[in-house]
Amino acid sequence: MASTEQDAKQSEVTMEEIVALCKRRGFVFPSSEIYGGVGSTYDYGHYGVLLKNNVKAQWWRAMLQERDDIVALDSAIIQSPKVWEASGHLAGFSDPLVQCLGECKKRWREDHLREAVEAEGGDPSAELRCPECGGELSEPRQFNLMFETHVGPVADEGSTVYLRPETAQGIFINFKNVLSFARKKPPFGIAQIGKSFRNEITPGNFIFRTREFEQMEMEFFVPPGEAERWYREWIELRERWYTDLGIRPEFLRVRAHDSDELSHYSSGTSDVEYLFPIGWSELEGIANRGNFDLTQHASHSGEKLEYFDQQTKERYVPHVIEPAAGADRATLAFLVDAYEVEEVEGRQRTVLRLHPRLAPVKVAVLPLVSKDGLPEKAREIFADLRRRLPAEFDEGGSIGKRYRRQDEIGTPWGITIDHETMEDDTVTLRDRDSLEQTRVPVEGLGDLLVGKLEAPWQSPKLG
């Protein structure tokens, strides 16, 4: 995408605006804030929990509900240290760390500093200086990203374990278990969502890069000769998942890794990237991992991790296609893409144009005034709707302020109960995006909204 388009995107919404909205409306806020916080750790508030849960639910829907060749798994966070020895994380999961020798003493990733110099048209091989204070930098040293801890009452060498830096290895070490009960044969996948931990040198940009994060990973096991075809298919499927949920295609791209970027085991890796306010950055990686992982774990454990085809009598170690996404990054991308400030009737309105299936609250029930039996009638309607879909009752403040509050959390529909409701049992249905208001009967209201929730939807920003 041209730089002018990138500039336009970055002027549309800043990360500061997203952070402010998230704090103001209870999506995300700094962890341990009353104690001054902990660097790059965040807590999700009510609406943030609901939004991220909806992102994860849509991922599960795409993996399990809409397919019959993928099964679910939830592996442990603490695994045998031998897992990380076999996977190569103990020996090679590290970043080049440099420290400022000048005034600020900050630590930096050397590769990130050189990328920044190159992006600005400088010579990436030239001597680096601290970007904070201009001081001299130390010689780079390799810094392992895994968090180390201990099991048992005594911390000694034999008790050392690690918080997992990725969920994928939990899938590989369970390949044999899943194969024994799932009644699947390649091509088939194992999917899981779970927390991972990386002691990042320079985390930042809100929830884009943190030390504790949630991954949505699937390992798709295929016959060796089919790996390239499935690699291409999963790139297309995963890109479409984001656009189907409202991400504008012009702010999404697939970038294939150059040969010098590829992991030693990968024959191909492509990133689905989104144009964040910080620029083009990875949302999800799709990798053709070959048979490296199963072969490594078979070698280190002594267990055979292969598939025997009863029909062809062929025995082989499956190759693996891995779509790996971050739930936190996806949540951030959906927030950024949905955010809009517009003028309505001479007043500014901040609105999150989230896909209805992602919206934390689907419908708000609002009595026009707090008298004449309207709150009681509204409570009846609310009680009925909340059994069908996530709903919220709101009677605090003027109706206009309540609409604005719901717009800011992305609620797609509002139901207003007024005096006419008491006469003919109809309500006003307000659409978040078009602002259209129509009278609809209370009877069948739940069915109407559930139907709208499952109907095809397109972001108004595409229009």
The confidence score (pLDDT) of residue 463 equals: 65
HSE at residue 131, side-chain half, CA atoms within 13 A, is: 13
The domains of the chain, with CATH numbers, are 3-76+167-335 (3.30.930.10), 94-144 (no CATH), 361-462 (3.40.50.800)
- Please tell me the distance from the alpha carbon of residue 327 to that of residue 375, in angstroms, as a whole number: 38
If you average pLDDT over residues 249-258, what whole number do you get? 95
Choice between 359 and 312, residue whose per-residue pLDDT is larger: 359
Total-model pTM: 0.89
- Residue 2, sorted as left (phi over 0), alpha (psi -120 to 50) or beta, turns out to be beta
Distances (CA, A) of 437 to 30, 160, 430: 38, 62, 4
How confident is the model over 410-430, as pLDDT tens digits?
Answer: 999 999 999 999 999 999 999
For residues 299 and 288, the answer to whether their CB atoms sit within 8 Å is: no
The confidence score (pLDDT) of residue 159 equals: 85
How confident is the model over 173-185, as pLDDT tens digits?
Answer: 999 999 989 889 9
Please name every residue paired with 24 in a beta bridge, in sequence order, or none if there are none: none
How confident is the model over 15-57, as pLDDT tens digits?
Answer: 999 999 999 999 999 999 999 988 889 999 999 999 999 999 9
- Please tell me the distance from the alpha carbon of residue 51 to that of residue 59, in angstroms, as a whole number: 13
